[in-house]
Structure 1
């Protein structure tokens, strides 16, 4: 590796629009071996230039990605849903402090840079009803208002969540909600 500095690396990452990257991504971008990339990231993570968000996944602290982008990359596949999406779509008035996502992987949670991320497993047949949204220059997968509500009710029915008192149903498309309920009923019977 020819004298790489965190600034040079940050420029290369920014040029490629990579806010979250693996050791392999890093090695490819700076044209070095994975072993050298790992050593560089380890050294510069200790100095605070980079942060490891989970095993093998890093961010540059000077150009930190949006929290929703981190959530979409921590566990794949996943999309923002439940209380976080309900709050984002202004269906519940509460501010949500933990970012909640739906995934077909196992349920798990992470604490990263003073932010809590929770992933709830849903059946593969229920993994639908999300859309890409542009946020701070990144594309994020977010549940539609109707699907966020149904995902939430699904977890309440499994006793994994308590019910929310204040829900503003005026912001929910009841026709779309009805279609999603029909799809979920059919898929849950299988």
Structure 2
């Protein structure tokens, strides 16, 4: 019953579990509450300012807002940060892109949430690898490693969906790793681009 849920206790439990972005289904599993009660509680507490609805069925604590990378991972699953955003994160591009770019095995999608633009690009299931969890005291998010972010980006160059940025900084890149990731896409043009730039 939603009457048994107390907003302050809900907030404390979510923070204790380090759950900063959640779906109504995840909320149900945490608090063992019926679907109707959850819907009522989430709507009421969104109106009262405890939660912010990021998209239909996805919420965050308004008082303890997650960072953009965490939102990017949670909003469209499965996904990991890659492409231009990851390249800039690793210092391989001199400027940070406007949009947080992520790889997904689902359909290509874009979202805008008041302060941030999020773009998700489809890659093959076989190529959905080469990422890890970056965890600090204040955030945790999935991001491609340097070589995988570059290969994801170059794959889109190879299919004509991106143009090759001539400002790429390719210092300390492992060419063998690039080629191994490139083979996952089964595209000769991608392998040729990798060989040409390294």
TM normalised by structure 1 equals 0.88
Q: Is the 8 A contact 1:45 1:51 kept in 2?
A: yes
Q: CA RMSD of the aligned region, Å?
A: 2.2
| 1:103-149 C-alpha deviation (Å, 9 max, x unpaired) | 11000011113111100011112212212221445442211111111
| 1:30-53 C-alpha deviation (Å, 9 max, x unpaired) | 343221111121122123321111
Structure 1: stretches of 5+ with no match in the other structure: none
Structure 2: stretches of 5+ with no match in the other structure: 190-198
1:132 corresponds in structure 2 to 133
Distance across 1 between alignment mates of 2:99 and 2:126: 25
1:114-125 to 2 correspondence within 5 Å?
Answer: 114-125=115-126
Distance across 2 between alignment mates of 1:93 and 1:149: 14
2:19 corresponds in structure 1 to 18
2:149 corresponds in structure 1 to 148
1:7 corresponds in structure 2 to 8
Q: Is the 8 A contact 1:125 1:187 kept in 2?
A: no
Distance across 2 between alignment mates of 1:187 and 1:53: 40
More moved, 109-118 vs 99-108: 109-118
Q: Is the 8 A contact 2:22 2:74 kept in 1?
A: no
Distance across 1 between alignment mates of 2:63 and 2:16: 14
Distance across 1 between alignment mates of 2:64 and 2:34: 24
SS in 2 for 1:101: strand
Q: Is the 8 A contact 1:146 1:172 kept in 2?
A: yes
Distance across 2 between alignment mates of 1:21 and 1:187: 40
**Cα distance change of structure 1 residues 21 and 174 upon mapping to structure 2, 3 Å threshold:** same
Q: Is the 8 A contact 1:66 1:136 kept in 2?
A: no
1:160 corresponds in structure 2 to 161
Deviation, 1:186, is: 7.3
Q: Is the 8 A contact 2:124 2:185 kept in 1?
A: no
Distance across 2 between alignment mates of 1:78 and 1:28: 22
2:53 counterpart of 1:49: no
SS in 2 for 1:29: helix
SS in 1 for 2:28: helix
Q: Is the 8 A contact 1:78 1:104 kept in 2?
A: yes
**Cα distance change of structure 1 residues 115 and 186 upon mapping to structure 2, 3 Å threshold:** closer
More moved, 84-93 vs 29-38: 29-38
TM normalised by structure 2 equals 0.84
